[in-house]
Amino acid sequence: MYYSNGNYEAFARPRKPAGVDDKSAWLVGAGLASMSAAAFMIRDGRMAGERITILERLRLPGGALDGIKEPKKGFVIRGGREMEDHFECLWDLFRSVPSIEIEDASVLDEFYWLNKDDPNYSLQRATVDRGQDAHTDGLFGLTEKAQKDIVKIFLATREEMEGKRIDEVFGPDFLASNFWLYWRTMFAFEEWHSALEMKLYLHRFVHHIGGLPDFSALKFTKYNQYESLVLPLYRWLLDQGVTFRFSTEVTDIDFEITPAPDGPGRKQATRIHWVADGEPGGVDLGEDDLVLATIGSLTENSDNGDHHTPARLDTGPAPAWDLWRRIAAKDPSFGHPDVFGGDIPRTKWESATVTTLDPRIPGYIQKICKRDPFSGKVVTGGIVTAKDSSWLLSWTVNRQPHFKQQPADQIVVWVYSLFVDTPGDYVKKPMQECTGEEITREWLYHLGVPVDQIDELASSGAKTVPVMMPYVTSFFMPRHAGDRPDVVPAGAVNFAFIGQFAETSRDCIFTTEYSVRTGMEAAYRLLDIERGVPEVFGSTYDVRTLLKATSRLRDGEEVDLPGPKFLRERLMRRLDGTQIGELLTDFGLIPELGGTARRERADDAVE
């Protein structure tokens, strides 16, 4: 397997790999990583769909990409997915998956047209004082010290960031900035999370720094992620003959490991053990029987409350994590799951899905987002953060209806908080102890609803389902090399690890792209597919992107060159009329001088 970019590789059709007709594939988990791997095996590896089986403990596919209407409770979305145009593997996949909305179109076509016609951006990113504009005004508010912190982390090696927390490498100035407010609430970072992952995010999305304050960098699906992404892919796989075995919990995988004195040796998966509908079973594996196992889970042991019942923090046995623990015990190269899943107080947070029933509530939403929530178009354009909320509460309204079954007079709202252990401002309880009704009260309070109407509207004007997720930020925990196993470990002949806890180069987790990338890499390596896997978008190596990001991080302020005035003036004269001088002037980092004037640039296809 190798990485590539450009149209030559993107549009090439690989030849059928040798021996593929003799192979079969067993995929553990029916999340996006597994389904993507199956799709790439079929499309690019020419494997017959009938030779692929997906094993799933739950009764439906999608993993963390959910969206469902629960009887008697209401609509539930545990989390949302923010996407962008340079999710290279994701769009490579969905260009081949037919839309179930538009005839003779792919899911990518449908998504592309939707976001062309209705581009995403926010009109109010943060509030204070119960729904008033926080006037962050698109500014990052980074002091010189905070800017130096970012540069230092950006230039550091991966090894220097391993095992470190964010608050160990960033100072108080940075942690008090608007940049950190935008960043942490958008990506769900806590101060104790991985400095290495923060660094990877900075590199991965440096081309979107300018779109961070107003979410103009983001793109969203028409409906929830299950109906817009999972369902079309699931139906396509069924049409190809793929077998899905639901209510089947994989409990262990056996390996034959032959050490070698001068290398990694040979590792072969030999049996999958499972329990299906309460009955133990399994399958023996030969060298041509491939296993692609999803390890870990961010939504494992999630618990749904309801409007009158808090969601429960489930710290009991976690099947996906226990499976990885059993696997990891068999070889050091299979990772260290407890680095990520062993500290629930540090990895939990809670979300809630609010469905409005009273027509008064959408009016308060519209007052903040400055758009009609019933328009069918972009509403909030991303999360709105109540900056002064003791829960650090954020909420968002995507295009409505968010569910195809959703009544036309209802709005579905997603709410989440980073500080679930802190008492609220109106409801004097931590979020994790609150019923759906109590969470609705706290949200309405920060929405600016008059205090004398909050309790009534929360009681009868909405239906809310809280969801507690013990492991939802587990992949952000500080880590070292080797804590996550390689997608295909050294010496492996017939197996791969996929999903958010498998290691792949340069990309960052908590994205749909990461899941698809690991699935694609696994399929390409195990079948020896001759086409290149798209590399992570290389904006971090583009001088235009770096200059633009530098300008935005300084809120447009020019760079104050050090040294005596006569030396600064001499340097500026030397830059006048040069390509470097033009670039620095175009991006507002130095003033216009002589014949060099700032130009509107049309060659920056980076945002």
Helix (H, G, I), strand (E, B) or coil at 319: helix
Amino acid in position 134? A
Domains of the chain: 3-106+222-342+473-534 (3.50.50.60), 558-607 (no CATH)
Mean pLDDT of the chain: 94
* Sheet hosting strand 462-469, strand order edge to edge: 132-133, 126-128, 384-386, 393-396, 412-417, 349-356, 462-469, 303-304
Residue 607 above 50 pLDDT?
no
Residue 68 above 90 pLDDT?
no
User: Once rounded to an integer, what is the mean pLDDT over residues 530-536?
Assistant: 96
**Torsion angle of the four alpha carbons 127, 130, 133, 138, in this order, in degrees rounded to the nearest 10:** -10
For the annotated catalytic residues, the residue numbers are: 82, 201
User: Once rounded to an integer, what is the mean pLDDT over residues 419-436?
Assistant: 97
Residue 603's pLDDT band (cuts 50, 70, 90):
low
- 475: its two tokens: 């992949």
Helix (H, G, I), strand (E, B) or coil at 535: coil
Q: Are 496 and 487 in contact (CB under 8 A)?
A: yes
Residue 578's pLDDT band (cuts 50, 70, 90):
confident
What's the CA gap between 283 and 285, in Å, rounded?
6
User: Once rounded to an integer, what is the mean pLDDT over residues 240-262?
Assistant: 96
Residue 606 above 60 pLDDT?
no
Residue 586's pLDDT band (cuts 50, 70, 90):
confident
Q: Which range among 5-14, 67-76, 496-505, 547-556 shows the weakest confidence by mean pLDDT?
A: 67-76
Is the whole-model pTM more than 0.85? yes
What's the CA gap between 477 and 404, in Å, rounded?
36
